[in-house]
Amino acid sequence: NRFQLEMQTVTLIPGDGIGPEISSAVMKIFETAKAPIRWEERNVTAIKGPGGRWMIPPDAKESMDKSKIGLKGPLKTPIAAGHPSMNLLLRKTFDLYANVRPCISIEGYKTPYTDVNLVTIRENTEGEYSGIEHVIVDGVVQSIKLITEDASRRIAEYAFEYARNNQRNSVTAVHKANIMRMSDGLFLRKCREVAENYKDIKFTEMYLDTVCLNMVQDPTQFDVLVMPNLYGDILSDLCAGLIGGLGVTPSGNIGANGVAIFESVHGTAPDIAGLDLANPTALLLSAVMMLRHMGLHDYGNKIQTACFDTIRDKKVLTKDLGGNSKCSEFTADICRRIQDLD
């Protein structure tokens, strides 16, 4: 397959804190797996462009526009820095409208929940996070939740496409249309309309509270979940908690014009930065997600299998997974398994 042999460029944004070390761990593993990826490292720090608007550095934007695929480590959240968070800037620059989190139980990393296998797809541009708030009178604040037809249709279409491309059986729309009649009602209507074009995928609707209730009792009943911004935020973190937290959860952001940025969603962990103690699993699984998105399923499966085998074996685990090993030892073990698999 000519496509597979050709090297694909991916923009790599190592990030802050433990970002650089987990990024190099991922690069090492990819090299061992001989994945056809060429990394282009870029830094994103907010700079003030012409007209006074904050933007990401032009070389980062140029790289992303060309490669279309990005892998990102954790970024520092600035407090009182005068500019918005980098994640928000990235989202706006590339119109990253879908946040996708596959939550699959990791055999070997025990949580009270086993057999979790679901995907949350969250609309990431509007909804409750529109940022539009006003003080009406002193002591009365109004926050506006915005739901538009276009954004709802776009996310619904993505959800069904994802379900089809990844052999998932059903898509569930999560909403609160009994209370927010017009806004969630519009979201639901668009989901229903899109479902008509995907008769091979089962479509169901469920109230947010019912989903929460059932999720903590029996998460195996869920497959793909699609929802507006706030519910997505809460549910995706809830599902991450089911499989073991943000340190092992992958995440992908899909944008317009074919751009996709995959990232780890944990923090920068400044207290262990540079000490070779970090756990690269989240970033590695996000990179696997990226490989699958690019159609390189074989490489993705190989790397994921090696990673899960290492965790299941429990011999070389980083501290947050319950072990005592260094990041480099964990990485080396995965590399060894990849070589054995070949």
Partner 1 sequence: FSVLSFLSSLLLITYKMPLLQPPPAKYGGRHTVTLIPGDGIGPELLNHVREVFRFSCVPVDFEVVHVNSAVETEDDINNAITAIRRNGVALKGNIETKHTMAPSVKSRNNLLRTSLDLYANVMHCQSLPGVQTRHKNIDIMIIRENTEGEYSSLEHESVSGVVESLKIITRNNSLRIADYAFKLAREKGRRRVTAVHKANIMKLGDGLFLQCCREVASGYPDITFDSMIVDNTTMQLVSKPQQFDVMVMPNLYGNVVSNVCAGLVGGPGLVPGANYGHVYAVFETATRNTGKSIANRNIANPTAMLLASCMMLDHLKLYDHASSIRNAILNTMNETRLHTADIGGQGTTSEVVQTIMRFIQSKGQLTSEY
CA distances from 324 to 153, 241, 315, 328 (A): 47, 22, 9, 12
**273 binds partner 1, rule: CB under 8 A:** no
Smallest gap from Cβ 9 to partner 1, in A, equals: 33
- Interaction between residue 209 and partner 1 (CB under 8 A): yes
H helices present in 173-280, as ranges: 183-196, 208-217, 229-243
Our CB check for partner 1 shows the closer of 141 and 275 to be 141
**Residues 113-132 contacting partner 1, CB under 8 A:** 113, 128-129, 131
In this chain, which of 4, 169, 214, 220 binds partner 1, going by CB under 8 A? Answer: 214
Q: Which of 140, 167, 200, 271 binds partner 1 (CB under 8 A)?
A: 140
Tokens of 44: 């994103």
Residues 85-114 that bind partner 1 (CB under 8 A): 111-113
User: Residues 271, 144: contact at Cβ < 8 Å?
Assistant: no
What are the Cα distances from residue 45, in Å, to 78, 262, 271?
A: 10, 18, 21
Contact 97, 255 (CB under 8 A): yes
Closest to 41 (Cα-Cα) out of 15, 18, 5, 16:
15
Instruction: Tell the smallest beta-carbon distance from residue 257 to partner 1 (Å).
Output: 22
Name the β-bridge partners of 30.
none
Please report whether residue 147 would count as binding partner 1 according to CB under 8 A.
yes
Q: Indicate which single residue of 41, 62, 150, 298 sits in contact with partner 1 (rule: CB under 8 A).
A: 150
- 317 sits near partner 1 (criterion: CB under 8 A): no
- What are the angstrom distances between the C-alpha of 339 and each of 128, 244, 295, 297, 330? 47, 28, 22, 17, 15
Least distance between partner 1 and beta carbon 254 (Å)? 20
Cβ–Cβ under 8 Å, residues 158 and 95: no
| Torsion over CA: 213, 215, 220, 222 (sign) | positive
User: Interface with partner 1 includes 80 (CB under 8 A)?
Assistant: no
Q: How far is the CB of 146 from partner 1 (least distance, A)?
A: 6
CB of 1 or CB of 217, closer to partner 1:
217
Stretch that binds partner 1, among 67-75, 140-148, 252-260, 295-303 (CB under 8 A): 140-148
d(CA 247, CA 109): 11
- Which of the residues 224 through 243 are near partner 1 (CB under 8 A)? 230, 233-238, 240-242
Q: Report the residue from 133, 196, 200, 342 that binds partner 1 according to the rule CB under 8 A.
A: 133
Token couple for 29 = 């593993």
89 vs 338, beta carbon nearer partner 1? 89
Two structure tokens written together for 82? 């005068």
Q: Which residue has the tokens 């780890």?
A: 264
Q: Provide the mask over 162-201, with x wherever binding to partner 1 is found by CB under 8 A and - wherever it is not.
A: --------------xxxxxxxx-xx-x-------------
Q: Specify the residue for token string 């519009």.
A: 186
Q: Which residues contact 151 (CB under 8 A, 6 or more apart)?
A: 97, 123, 125, 126
Q: Is 215 in the site for partner 1 (CB under 8 A)?
A: yes
Choose the binding region for partner 1 from 97-105, 210-218, 250-258, 304-312 (rule: CB under 8 A). Answer: 210-218
- Is the Cβ of residue 50 or residue 112 nearer to partner 1 in the bound state? 112
Q: Which residues contact partner 1 (rule: CB under 8 A)?
A: 111-113, 128-129, 131, 133-135, 138-150, 176-183, 185-186, 188, 208-210, 212-217, 230, 233-238, 240-242, 245-246
